[in-house]
Amino acid sequence: MAIALRNGKVLTDHGFREDVAVLVEEGRIVALVPLDDPRVAAATAVDLQGHTLLPGYIDAQVNGGGGYLFNNTPDVHALTEIARAHRRFGTTGMLPTLISDDAGVMEKAIAATAEAIDAGVPGVLGIHLEGPYIAPARKGTHDASKFRVPDAAEVAMAASLRNGVTLLTLAPEQVPVETVRALVAAGVIVAAGHTAGSYEQIRAGLDAGITGFTHLYNAMSPLQGREPGAVGAAMEDADSWCGIIVDGVHVHPASLRVALAAKPRGKLFLVTDAMPPVGADDPSYSLYGEIITAVDGVVRNAAGALAGSALDMATAVRNSVRLLGLPLEEAARMASTYPAQFLGLGDRYGRIAPGYQADLVLVDDDLQVVATWIAGSAD
């Protein structure tokens, strides 16, 4: 039975419209039609009560949520709970993210992701392997004892997920360009991050097939006058995408506005880098055996390094409007359309358009989440 979502402000490819209904059938958007279209009357009506309907948010960097950290519990139950926790904040698609760990843990995480996708766990689109092929000098909260250079067997393991997206963050100066090419040839989306590389080393990585940058500015060589570093390479390159953490802590809003001015529209997208406190009552969790507590929404380890975030996507969208001065239309696309395109899913996710999966988020005037749909199923 078709449903018709009506009486709301709908973000279409041409901006917001209040004169259309969204017809959904069998989990997909069938059409956007005038309110007097006969198909609207024939469908089950869903009254949006004047709220704003956006494409569901897609988060490419989710370490944990709902009290679970993927590294600690790389299984389907944890993925189900993490996805459920983030759905409350509008995230209808995510890449559970495994930070640097042993090969055995990576294998378990990839297997759990494949099982979750096969089981239809709502919102799991693939996996993000953040490390362990990264630079000790820009390790952040990662455990440097896990760092290594992948051999052919480990490249094959990292590329072994066959039913979802694999994103892998590495430091280009730590990994031979031939290995980067092998990962890309195997279908892995490769991003530069946690890198101390020079501009030339990052540029070589881009030429080898790197298409993204993980949390721009954070844990990477900065832009300087005589050494552009990773940040300069990212902002100069017109074709690559950059994830950004808009929590007012990881990056100064002015720096983010510089990136917005430098990059072509559509090449910056929102990520949370979320940790277990998101969607949980307990602000503390264990990471590499250390107890870490979110204080006033900021997550740091004992050494003072930022240890992910307590950010959710709904807050990231609000911050993009309020801290960066972006129109809601653009902030919403940075949370949905652009990450979908980066992940190679732009033909199925990230838009309210015919043929797209009905992954949707309804927000009120304060941009708080009122309801979500994943494949047309409401929550």
Residue 296 is predicted with a pLDDT of 86
The answer to whether 167 is a known ligand-binding residue is no
Whether 291 is covered by a domain: the verdict is: yes
Residues 220, 84, single domain; the answer is yes
Phi, psi at 230, each rounded to 5°: -70, -40
Residues 209, 63, single domain; the answer is yes
Whether 91 is covered by a domain: the verdict is: yes
> DSSP character for 13?
T
- Any idea what the CATH number is for the domain that residue 282 is in? 3.20.20.140
Computed from CA positions of residues 154, 155, 159, 165, in that sequence, does the dihedral angle turn out positive or negative? Answer: positive
3-class SS of residue 289: coil
The answer to whether 14 is a known ligand-binding residue is no
Whether 273 sits among the annotated catalytic residues: the reply is yes
Judge contact between 8 and 53, C-beta under 8 A. yes
The answer to whether 219 is a known ligand-binding residue is yes
Give the residue ranges of the chain where pLDDT is below 70: none
Residue 106 is predicted with a pLDDT of 98
Residues 263, 242, single domain; the answer is yes
User: In the chain, helix, strand, coil percent, each to 5?
Assistant: 30, 30, 45
How far is 272 from 77, CA to CA, in rounded Å?
A: 21
Judge contact between 39 and 2, C-beta under 8 A. yes
Residue 304 is predicted with a pLDDT of 85
The answer to whether 11 is a known ligand-binding residue is no
The answer to whether 128 is a known ligand-binding residue is no
Residues 244, 284, single domain; the answer is yes
Residues 264, 120, single domain; the answer is yes
Whether 63 is covered by a domain: the verdict is: yes
Active-site option among 273, 282, 359, 365 = 273
Residues 75, 96, single domain; the answer is yes
Whether 347 is covered by a domain: the verdict is: no
The answer to whether 194 is a known ligand-binding residue is yes
How far is 233 from 224, CA to CA, in rounded Å?
A: 11
pLDDT tens-digit readout, 221-279: 999 999 999 999 999 999 999 999 999 999 999 999 999 999 999 999 999 999 999 99
One DSSP character per residue, 15-61 reads: EEESSEEEEEETTEEEEEEETT-HHHHHSEEEE-TT-EEEEPEEEEE
- Any idea what the CATH number is for the domain that residue 43 is in? 2.30.40.10
pLDDT tens-digit readout, 152-175: 999 999 999 999 999 999 999 999
Burial category of 75 from C-beta neighbours within 10 Å (exposed 0-12, middle 13-18, buried 19 and up): middle
Nearest CA among 298, 297, 278, 367 for reference residue 326: 367
Residues 22, 62, single domain; the answer is no
Range of the domain at 169: 56-342
Whether 348 is covered by a domain: the verdict is: no
Residues 6 or more apart whose CB falls under 8 angstroms from that of 308 comprise: 63, 64, 141, 273, 274, 275, 299
Whether 349 is covered by a domain: the verdict is: no
Residues 25, 137, single domain; the answer is no
The answer to whether 337 is a known ligand-binding residue is no
Residues 295, 325, single domain; the answer is yes
Residues 140, 157, single domain; the answer is yes
The answer to whether 63 is a known ligand-binding residue is no
Number of domains the chain contains:
2
How far is 160 from 368, CA to CA, in rounded Å?
A: 38
Residue 232 is predicted with a pLDDT of 98
The answer to whether 6 is a known ligand-binding residue is no
Residues 8, 150, single domain; the answer is no
The answer to whether 215 is a known ligand-binding residue is yes
Nearest CA among 102, 130, 75 for reference residue 288: 102
Computed from CA positions of residues 107, 182, 268, 252, in that sequence, does the dihedral angle turn out positive or negative? Answer: positive
Whether 74 is covered by a domain: the verdict is: yes
Residues 215, 115, single domain; the answer is yes
Residue 305 is predicted with a pLDDT of 86
CA 155 to chain CA mean position, Å: 23
Residue 302 is predicted with a pLDDT of 85
